[in-house]
Structure 1
Amino acid sequence: MSSPSSSPLTSPVGTTRRPVADRLAVRGLRFRGHHGVLDHEKRDGQDFLVDLVLLLDTRPAAQTDDLQDTVDYGSLVEQVRAVVEGDPVDLIETLAQRIADVCLTKPAVVEVEVTVHKPHAPIQATFEDVALTINRSLE
């Protein structure tokens, strides 16, 4: 009896393996935005914190030592800044999606986790943070 053949995406026993997905994280980005449902939120603005976790295969960049083979996170941060400091939206769900869309335009990125923190949300209670985390992929 012969053993099943292996491919890069299957294990020797024929089960599917997860493709390589390294994680590049940029956490605690702080930008001032004018997002929210209430008039004063759009008028006065508030700080938003953003955490990004990008899934990508870093082996090409490790082999070439070339920034073109990975994500230029300095440039990406400036694009995320433009989203947060740009056109106001009502919901952090919309803001998080716009940030994810920017991240997924990077050729190396196959999946992204975006967390948007709104630590000064207009809640009539003592609280530490309001945060939304979304996961988006090219698939």
Structure 2
Amino acid sequence: MDKIEIKGLEVFAHHGVYEEEQRLGQKFVVSAVLSLDTTAAAQTDDLDKTVNYGAISRQITQILQRENHKLLERAAAVTAEEILLTNPLINGITIKIEKPWAPVGLPLETVAVETTRKWHTAYIALGSNLGEKKNYLDVAIEELKAVKGIEIESVSDWIETEPYGYLDQPNFLNGCACLRTWLEPFALLDVLQSIEAKAGRERKIHWGPRTLDLDLLFYDDQILGTKRLIVPHPEIEKRSFVLVPMAQIAPWLRHPVSKSTIKQLLEELNAEQ
């Protein structure tokens, strides 16, 4: 990925914990590294094919002067996220905000906070087998759309499937969705579980009936193995109710462990049945 750098942008703003900082203001020094593909701009020499670093510098200044924050962490996050949301050519951004006049009462050159936000691709599975199943799935998609830092790229059809594991329960309605998100895996998991909770999800029986089930299947090509979260989701290759809708939206996605595509995994599963 190519990069555009902005270094040493001076912004007078009113961020800080102390009342005097919020009232009087002080100098902040901002640097930004923008990640994007500059191939089209290099080939055409067309400014519209890249990011205007002058415009980004002005936008950073406007964001930092628009409202006051106590913490540099907050100021950096707000700035990075707005830049990412409003500039579709930018795939990632690292913002560093320095505070050379920080009131610490000691001789120092500066203090700084550096924050990175970048777009990731995640795939989730959705399922329901209680109540208004389609409505639960539709509402879940709308809830995800409303979360800052999540964009819905594609959604499969909802398909009816038989129960898996625990069989004495109604049929499921299942589907998958592709998300674009700057949320890290555990933050995304928190969002999924909060949406489940709103739908009245209860975890009484393993693989049992539920109003709404949201599982994180893939997150870029990352491999995670913790007590709370395993990515890729275990046993994807055994679950037609995941592979069929995934094949609709991402047939050529490769499983980062087996290296097989979703299409290949589905064909192998069908051959076994």
TM range, normalised to the smaller chain? 0.7 to 0.9
Q: Which has the higher helix share?
A: 2
Does residue 117 in structure 1 map to residue 98 in structure 2?
yes
Distance 2:109 2:55 in 1: 30
The equivalent of 1:7 in structure 2 is none
Partner of 2:74: 94
Q: Which residue of 2 aligns with 1:34?
A: 14
Q: Greater relative contact order (Cα 8 A, min sep 6): structure 1 or 2?
A: 1
Q: Please say if 1:62 is aligned against 2:20.
A: no
Corresponding residue SS for 1:51:
strand
Distance 1:113 1:49 in 2: 14
Question: Quick one: which of 80, 89, 113 aligns to 1:108?
Answer: 89
User: Percent identity at matched positions?
Assistant: 38
Shift of 1:138: 1.4
Cross-structure match for 1:134: 115
| Structure 1 residue 109 displacement after superposition | 0.8
TM-aligned CA deviation for residue 95 of structure 1: 0.7
Give me the whole-angstrom Cα distance separating, in 2, the residues matched to 1:66 and 1:97: 30
User: Secondary structure at 1:88's aligned position in 2?
Assistant: coil
Q: Cα offset for 1:74?
A: 1.1
Distance 1:78 1:124 in 2: 32
Structure 1-normalised TM-score? Answer: 0.82
Distance 1:67 1:101 in 2: 23
Give the match for residue 76 of structure 1: 56
| Pairs aligned (count) | 119
CA contact (8 A) 1:35 1:90 kept: yes
Amino acid at match of 1:118: K
Unmatched 5+ stretches in structure 1: 1-20
Query: For 1:52, what is the secondary structure of its paired residue?
Result: strand
- Unaligned 5+ residue runs, structure 2? 121-273
CA RMSD of aligned residues (A): 0.9
Per-residue deviation, 1:68: 1.2
Structure 1 segments (4+ residues) deviating >6 Å: none
Give, in angstroms, the shift of residue 103 of structure 1.
2.2
Counterpart CA distance in 2 for 1:103 and 1:83 is 9
Normalised to the residue count of structure 2, the TM-score between the two structures is: 0.43
2:26 to 46, 55, 63: 46
Q: Max radius of gyration: which structure?
A: 2
Deviation per residue, 1:11-35 (Å, 9 max, x gap): xxxxxxxxxx111101000010000
Secondary structure at the residue paired with 1:116? strand
5 Å matches for 1:6-25? Answer: 21-25=1-5
The amino acid that maps onto 1:29 is L
Query: 1:79 touches 1:102 (CA, 8 Å); kept in 2?
Result: no
The alpha-carbon deviation at position 48 of structure 1 amounts to: 0.4
